[in-house]
């Protein structure tokens, strides 16, 4: 049975990994919540999304549709469940938050060198699902090189960035010039914990500073990159002082968990697994 994050954190504390206490206390004591306001009018949600309240817009990133098909082309076969999970997550998100737009901040599909048959099917199904309830807006990611071809059938366009409500939304694989706070994906941030049996708990997470919000990956197959490791993939992150960034974990059963600051995670790195 899957143990709760609070139980895993408590076990780590008993094993002597909790000298700093920042991560352990936050995970164990945090109240289960659906949303946390990270800036005025901007909320991190338990649906792996940022909600721009005034604009009634949700921002998600890194769905990586077609991932199983890409693995199959490499001779690796895994059960194909990602599309089902993503549709369930989208439905729950739109039931919980009454939005008018959903902005996908890049890497909507997975294979960056071509369009796979699976991607044609999955991208269209997910976008039709969204179009029935909201207006989808697609921002280009580094895996989206051929996505525009699929979008043509749906009369949707692909843009390099979206500026909305005083926020600039990009994927994050390239630097960007803007005077506004940035919301981005690309990095797949996560908190990685080890329990007393050596089992890994990987918790997708938001990284939040005054000028930057990094989204967790929406894909259930994205294992995530340890937030306490450096350097990062994104040039935007690598030019941002990140030690005091707030780390907000996302768990579908536990809700949102405030893990404190990146600097605190580094202090107890003995309780974390490197990516």
pLDDT band per the 50, 70, 90 thresholds, residue 114: low
Give one word for 13, left, alpha or beta, with left for phi > 0 and alpha for psi -120 to 50. Answer: alpha
Summarize the confidence of residues 241-262 as an average pLDDT.
91
* pTM summary value: 0.85
Query: Residue 33's pLDDT is what?
Result: 87
Query: Residue 178's pLDDT is what?
Result: 96
The residue with greater pLDDT, 222 or 102, is 102
pLDDT band per the 50, 70, 90 thresholds, residue 122: confident
Mean pLDDT, the chain, whole residue set? 82
Inform me whether the pLDDT recorded for 196 exceeds 80.
no
pLDDT band per the 50, 70, 90 thresholds, residue 230: confident
Chain centre to alpha carbon of residue 192: 14
Query: Residue 264's pLDDT is what?
Result: 87
What's the per-residue H, E or C state across the chain?
CCCCHHHHHHHHHHHHHCCCCHHHHHHHHCCCECEEEEECCEEEECCCCEEECCCCEEEECCCCECHHHHHHHCCCCCCCCHHHHHHHHHHHHHHHCCCCEEEEECCCECCCCCCCHHHHHHHHHHHHHHHCCCEEEEECCCCCCCHHHHHHCCCCCEECCEEECCEEECCCCCCCCCCCCEEECCCCEEEEEECCCCCEEEEEEEEECCCEEECCCCCCCCCCEECCCCCCCCHHHHCCCCCCCEEEEEECCCEEEEEEEHHHHHHCHHHECCC
Place of tokens 């899957």: 2
């Amino acid at each position: 049975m899957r143990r709760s994050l609070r139980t895993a954190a408590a076990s780590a504390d008993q094993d002597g990994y909790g000298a700093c206490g920042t991560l352990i206390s936050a995970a164990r004591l945090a109240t289960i919540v659906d949303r946390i306001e990270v800036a005025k009018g901007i909320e991190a949600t338990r649906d792996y999304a940022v909600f721009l309240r005034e604009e009634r817009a949700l921002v998600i990133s890194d769905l990586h549709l077609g991932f199983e098909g890409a693995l199959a082309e490499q001779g690796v076969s895994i059960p194909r469940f990602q599309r089902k999970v993503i549709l369930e997550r989208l439905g729950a998100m739109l039931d919980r938050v009454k939005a008018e737009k959903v902005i996908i901040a890049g890497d909507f599909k997975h294979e960056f060198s071509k369009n796979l048959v699976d991607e044609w099917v999955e991208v269209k199904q997910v976008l039709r699902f969204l179009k029935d309830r909201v207006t989808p807006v697609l921002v280009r990611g580094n895996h989206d090189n051929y996505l525009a071809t699929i979008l043509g059938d749906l009369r949707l366009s692909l843009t390099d960035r979206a500026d909305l409500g005083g926020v600039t939304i990009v994927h994050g694989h390239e630097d960007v010039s803007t005077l506004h706070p940035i919301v981005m994906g690309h990095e797949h941030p996560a908190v990685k914990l080890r329990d007393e049996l050596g089992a890994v708990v990987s918790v997708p997470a938001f990284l939040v500073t005054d000028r930057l919000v990094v989204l967790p990956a929406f894909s259930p197959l994205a294992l995530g990159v340890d937030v306490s490791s450096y350097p990062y993939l994104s040039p935007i992150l690598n030019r941002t002082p990140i030690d005091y960034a707030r780390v907000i974990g996302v768990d579908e059963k536990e809700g949102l968990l405030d893990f404190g600051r990146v600097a605190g995670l580094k202090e107890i790195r003995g309780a974390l697994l490197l990516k």
